[in-house]
Structure 1
């Protein structure tokens, strides 16, 4: 039977129970600065599959990884670039997920993630303390695929029930707005999902993320140049954990 812990009044017991669950390969629900997330041991293929099964989600939508410290990037990605460090310094902890090239020896079976991995440091003191105890967690929004992301522990319980062993209640979660996703896995940085952090804020740190210039008209009498299409989920690499368009964003 699932257990619920109030992190405000029983933080130590909550962390102990969550660590035990994660070590056993079970799923937990945890608060973040965006929405509630369902988490599992990122280093355990069995645990990650349990997370995907709990959400009724396929391996084509692998979850991102939450870490406690920027320094942990070095264990996950092939190269820690100046762009990564600039964004991390400006926005971590916070609502920014970055997609990076995974370390060639990284043993994390998160699904069909290709050669990349999505990473975030959440702006939530308790959750970072938990991550220091558990190590990196694969974390997705706490909802069944196609349903709204949970912003309260009761929402998460209604959707996930006994599929989760431990629920960590931190009150209403964040503002319910997802993290912004930036792809740093290729030569040119790109915004894959516009979330809480806006393009102008990002461009102040990485000018390459400034708004693209509109294409000039082809000529007099021709059709107007098309506006650039907005960033959509179909543009995202496999490593970015997104449900179907009607589903809620990830934590």
Structure 2
């Protein structure tokens, strides 16, 4: 398959390219496109055969549900059997934007899209290119991140091309994304609204709208092999670079000293080590490869840069990677969720290594 790459300026939309992307999707093909979170790999969400192409292209487990993308509340009604009052309030507050809600589905949505579940995850993206493509397709678009399964999610079209060239029909290059982490997923299908995956929309922001919100423990540590995940990113290792990644948690100074010690030990063992640092700490490390994720003074920069940094280590051919942690900020839940999954939950806490 030849993958076509087209560039689109969101300020001066190429209507012909948008129409072509919509046509490919409507006819059952695969198109990668930018959203405000990461690049998505789109297919007709109402066609099980099209959804199956996503799983094949990504090498994604078939029980990992896909998220349907829409552009209006009118498009939601045929997809879900009920919209609880809390969901309506959250939609009013955060749609369009980086929030996904899980509803009980109607028969219109095939189980091939939902990973066999009777619930469906739905999002209304804010990115103008994404919205234009969905409207052009004329159907809800199932779109997980446009990377091969387990790899860091793509925040640039170049990342998509690296993973998907020859696997999909078309890549729409709309430039670098804004947020850099996937949407918050909140389950509104039964009882208390529950966060299944943390994201840019934080627990505090949700609770300002609807009151108490629960957090599914599986969003932190994953699910057992025999459980079907209710949302993407809950069960399998994700976002991982090729080299083994270890996260050092604890007070910043203590963690930095532990990383310095680990780097010295790696050098003595003849290993090429990399370190994920911040603008505040980058000058203190002696390491073959250093990648700055951003500033602790502005954690949004860490969220924006994290996947790009993780991918960059593959080009450096490092043997191991050590990362500072990013606890204690408004976006810590989302950042640490991705970082710990990338590390396969491998953590050093206060100088004592343990699996969590």
The answer to whether the superposition gives a TM-score over 0.5 is yes
Given that residues 33 and 130 in structure 2 are in contact (C-alpha distance below 8 angstroms), is that contact kept between their aligned partners in structure 1?
yes
Name 1:198's counterpart in structure 2.
202
Name 1:4's counterpart in structure 2.
5
Name 1:133's counterpart in structure 2.
136
State the 4+ residue runs in structure 1 displaced beyond 4 angstroms.
none
1:27-106 to structure 2, matched below 5 A, reads 27-106=30-109
Name 1:215's counterpart in structure 2.
none
Taking a change above 3 Å as real, the CA distance of residues 164 and 90 of structure 1, as seen in their structure-2 partners, is same
Higher RCO, 1 vs 2 (CA within 8 Å, ≥6 residues apart): 1
Taking a change above 3 Å as real, the CA distance of residues 10 and 68 of structure 1, as seen in their structure-2 partners, is closer
Q: What displacement does 1:164 show?
A: 1.2
Q: What displacement does 1:3 show?
A: 1.3
Taking a change above 3 Å as real, the CA distance of residues 28 and 106 of structure 1, as seen in their structure-2 partners, is closer
Taking a change above 3 Å as real, the CA distance of residues 141 and 98 of structure 1, as seen in their structure-2 partners, is same
Name 1:109's counterpart in structure 2.
112
TM-score by length of 1: 0.85
Given that residues 96 and 120 in structure 1 are in contact (C-alpha distance below 8 angstroms), is that contact kept between their aligned partners in structure 2?
yes
Given that residues 78 and 108 in structure 2 are in contact (C-alpha distance below 8 angstroms), is that contact kept between their aligned partners in structure 1?
no
Encode CA deviations 1:53-98: one digit per residue, 9 max, x unaligned: 0000121112110111122111110012211110000000111010
Name 1:244's counterpart in structure 2.
236
Name 2:219's counterpart in structure 1.
231
TM-score by length of 2: 0.61
Moved more, 153-162 or 3-12: 3-12
Q: Aligned Cα RMSD in Å?
A: 2.2
Given that residues 68 and 128 in structure 1 are in contact (C-alpha distance below 8 angstroms), is that contact kept between their aligned partners in structure 2?
yes
Given that residues 195 and 214 in structure 2 are in contact (C-alpha distance below 8 angstroms), is that contact kept between their aligned partners in structure 1?
no
Encode CA deviations 1:2-22: one digit per residue, 9 max, x unaligned: 211111156212212212211
- Distance of 2:219 and 2:203 partners within structure 1: 12
Given that residues 71 and 134 in structure 2 are in contact (C-alpha distance below 8 angstroms), is that contact kept between their aligned partners in structure 1?
yes
Taking a change above 3 Å as real, the CA distance of residues 51 and 239 of structure 1, as seen in their structure-2 partners, is same
- Distance of 1:162 and 1:117 partners within structure 2: 29
Pick the structure with greater CA Rg. 2
- Distance of 2:197 and 2:74 partners within structure 1: 24
Given that residues 200 and 210 in structure 1 are in contact (C-alpha distance below 8 angstroms), is that contact kept between their aligned partners in structure 2?
no
1:200-215 to structure 2, matched below 5 A, reads 200-209=204-213
Encode CA deviations 1:91-118: one digit per residue, 9 max, x unaligned: 0011101011002454463152311000
Structure 2 gap ranges (5+): 241-337, 339-356
Name 1:172's counterpart in structure 2.
176
